[in-house]
Structure 1
Amino acid sequence: MSAPLIELEGIATRLGGHWVHREVNLSVARGDLLALVGGSGAGKTTLLRQMIGLMRPTHGEVRLFGEPHHRGRRRERFARLRRMGVLFQHGALFSALSVYDNVAFPLREAGGLSEEEIRALVHAKLNQVELEARHALLMPAELSGGMVKRAALARALALEPELLLLDEPTAGLDPDRSAGFVRLIRQLHAELGLTMVFVTHDLDTLQALATRVAVLAEHRILAEGTLDQIRAVDHPFIQKFFRYHAAVDETAD
């Protein structure tokens, strides 16, 4: 059995004088489609940022591909980060760069490729996320919400990562575009053998995408398992959480 791609051990996080996490333990196995859910302020995005390496926990250790996230020489840390892609909630595209240059950015930063090779890779990634070559010339302000997500996903995939982290991947999308984006993510997961961790509050996304669910509440991982297993957990927060979001989804429909 291969080692987990991500391991969180004894994570405690203190922000603004308050504890967000206490003793969070979680591992992400190769091939997982792991959803991280919980109430507002539970620290889901904070935990995701720690997995990315943008934040350090107050206590505990984050291991990425079997190695402590922040240890090692700069070259070693960068090599680990190249194996991971990130899709931020609102895309986080560089507003002054075209779609083409946004996707090309990590390829240029990594170095070692000619502009001709970069061009071929950019167009391959755009095709992979079902964007056309003509979309490469557009600026982020000219894109629809769904196109922003796809362009940002193409950039996240530019370095051929093994691991993809997504923060609210369907936030801001209407039901049809949301369903199409979820279908695309599932397709990429199968075709590329990706491991994915994503934060969501949307039950449709959760049901369509997650193979495992981790519930973050009471400063820790309260429960972990398949969606059916989580729904069966007799805990007040979990039962209330799923009742509330089911009601919200029905109202939205």
Structure 2
Amino acid sequence: MSAPPDAGRTAAPVIEIRGLCTRFGDVVIHRDIDLDVAAGQMLGLVGGSGSGKTTLLRAIVGLLAPSAGTVKLFGQAILDADPRRMRAVRRRFGMLFQQGALFSAFSVFDNIAFPLRELRTLDEEMIRDLVLLKLAMVELEPRHGSLMPAELSGGMVKRVALARALSLEPELLVLDEPTAGLDPDLAENFVQLIKLLQKELGFTVVMVTHDLDTLAGLATRLAVLADQKIIACGTVAEVLAVDHPFIHTFFGSGRAAAAIRQEAI
């Protein structure tokens, strides 16, 4: 019996970066970065202060044009010249910004509804049902929809921002310091929420974080930025096997670092 046409083929990566360089004037941030992220992976991107972690995230989602190289999402250039193709790609990912980036003049309901209304294909009844569903997904109640961002705690801001990022049911979720500003208990609860949603919905995750507890709780793979490039990318064991001063320092000591190292055993 002959093999089916797709037998032996590897699915295209959700994110494909080739030869990416970023510079601001004479300052080089990234040099010749290559990176693939496969569907369903949860990649933690780490690096020292000023290493360009958030800058790389901005290039991935098309908020920043690299000086050289290419970035593709789902096989499509994120900075495609055709605006229709760009819109189609951008609807396939959601982003959670470090401070939530909620619209201060919009209620919780309207913040979550905003991407749905931008589609211009859904009536208000359908949008209401979807917003209530997203609120429930992040363990908030319908009554929270009437609150304004200024009335929210830090943990609630994160949950509302996550609900908005998930409003279009993205295949890729991009997280910039998802637990920054949360106390340890709230951070742990938020990590468990993302982990549960990823298991249920199957989306791919790329996150920047300096928090080792968050890495230990979420990341299935790590990528390490240092010396203007990715010096290591792979499983925890593969990354820890790389002999580099930043890796020794970052993963060297502390309870969370010990938990990361334990995963490599």
TM-score by length of 1: 0.95
Aligned counterpart in structure 2 of residue 139 of structure 1, from 136, 148, 157? 148
One-letter amino acid of the counterpart of residue 14, structure 1: R
- Asked whether the equivalents of residues 216 and 256 of structure 2 are also in contact (C-alpha less than 8 Å), the reply is no
Aligned counterpart in structure 1 of residue 15 of structure 2, from 6, 19, 23? 6
Instruction: Give the aligned CA root-mean-square deviation in angstroms.
Output: 1.5
One-letter amino acid of the counterpart of residue 11, structure 1: L
Q: Distance in 1 between matches of 2:12 and 2:183?
A: 38
Aligned residue number for residue 182 of structure 1: 191
Aligned residue number for residue 226 of structure 1: 235
Distance verdict in 2 for CA 1:204–1:52, change over 3 Å: same
Structure index of larger Rg:
2
In the alignment of these two chains, the number of paired residues is 249
Aligned counterpart in structure 1 of residue 36 of structure 2, from 7, 12, 27? 27
Query: Residues 46-81 of structure 1: CA distance to partner in whole angstroms, max 9, x if unpaired?
Result: 000011100010000001110111124211110010
Q: How does 1:204-243 map to 2 (within 5 A)?
A: 204-243=213-252
Aligned residue number for residue 173 of structure 2: 164
Q: Distance in 1 between matches of 2:162 and 2:205?
A: 13
Q: Distance in 2 between matches of 1:186 and 1:19?
A: 35
Aligned residue number for residue 46 of structure 1: 55
Query: Residues 16-42 of structure 1: CA distance to partner in whole angstroms, max 9, x if unpaired?
Result: 420000011101100010000000000
- Structure 1 gap ranges (5+): none
Aligned residue number for residue 118 of structure 2: 109
Aligned residue number for residue 211 of structure 2: 202
- Asked whether the equivalents of residues 138 and 193 of structure 2 are also in contact (C-alpha less than 8 Å), the reply is yes
One-letter amino acid of the counterpart of residue 169, structure 1: P
Q: Distance in 1 between matches of 2:203 and 2:210?
A: 22
3-state SS of paired residue (2:168): coil
One-letter amino acid of the counterpart of residue 70, structure 1: L
Q: Distance in 1 between matches of 2:34 and 2:240?
A: 20
Matched, 1:79 2:88: yes
Aligned residue number for residue 99 of structure 1: 108
Distance verdict in 2 for CA 1:249–1:232, change over 3 Å: closer
Percent sequence identity is 60
Q: Distance in 1 between matches of 2:69 and 2:148?
A: 41
Aligned counterpart in structure 2 of residue 37 of structure 1, from 46, 57, 62? 46
Query: Residues 126-152 of structure 1: CA distance to partner in whole angstroms, max 9, x if unpaired?
Result: 000111111101000100100000000
Matched, 1:127 2:133: no
Q: Distance in 2 between matches of 1:115 and 1:247?
A: 49
One-letter amino acid of the counterpart of residue 180, structure 1: N
One-letter amino acid of the counterpart of residue 201, structure 1: H
3-state SS of paired residue (1:243): coil
How far apart are 1:248 and its partner, in Å? Answer: 9.5
One-letter amino acid of the counterpart of residue 47, structure 1: L
3-state SS of paired residue (1:120): helix
3-state SS of paired residue (1:3): coil
Query: Residues 141-170 of structure 1: CA distance to partner in whole angstroms, max 9, x if unpaired?
Result: 100100000000000000111000000000
- Asked whether the equivalents of residues 62 and 79 of structure 2 are also in contact (C-alpha less than 8 Å), the reply is yes
